[in-house]
Amino acid sequence: MLIICLLALIGCLLVYAYKQYQRTNQSLREIRPNETVDAAILIRELSGDIHQLESWQGKGVLAVRGIVKSIDSSNRNVYILMGDTSQPTSIRFSMDGQWTDYTLIHSGMSVTLKGMLNGYNKDQTGLLGDEIIFNRGVWMQQPDK
């Protein structure tokens, strides 16, 4: 009887481990953002006090409105940089790979992107500017047809 219980327990653990291994992230396309913020405000708050990062990360999915500085699609990943072109600090969105509507976005365009705040890269040289990093980015605002 003890052997049967152990085998059943091991079987349940194996099924659970397999399901966790096969699990994928839910797309942010259909998820409502917990908060919407202007890019300039987010840059100002995080550049002034890096300790604000944890409170912003705790808000979950964020939507950011701002101007596109540049788009980098030189490799398999697509990165969209947002912010004021006169300032070196920017917000970098690593776009979700399953969506290709980013091809309609261009520099200088006002967009709203949502994603998960992942971190902050401080520019140690003072030449390139700081980066606020979002991953799993998706475009909320679609162009008028």
CATH number at residue 49: 2.40.50.110
Q: What is the pLDDT of residue 98?
A: 67
Model-level pTM greater than 0.85?
no
User: 135 with 24: CB under 8 angstroms?
Assistant: no
Residue 116 lies in a domain: yes
Domain count along the chain: 1
pLDDT per residue rounded down to tens, the chain (145 residues): 889 998 999 999 998 888 888 776 667 777 888 889 999 888 888 876 667 777 777 788 999 999 999 888 877 788 899 988 788 889 999 888 766 677 788 899 999 999 998 888 877 776 777 888 998 888 886 544 4
Residue 2 lies in a domain: no
88: domain range? 28-139
Residue 36 lies in a domain: yes
Residue 23 lies in a domain: no
Residue 69 lies in a domain: yes
Q: What is the pLDDT of residue 65?
A: 93
Rounded to an integer, what distance in angstroms lies between the CA atom of residue 78 and that of residue 96?
A: 8
> What tokens does 11 get?
């079987």
Residue 145 lies in a domain: no
Positive/negative CA dihedral, 43, 45, 47, 48: positive
Q: What is the pLDDT of residue 145?
A: 41
Residue 90 lies in a domain: yes
Residue 39 lies in a domain: yes
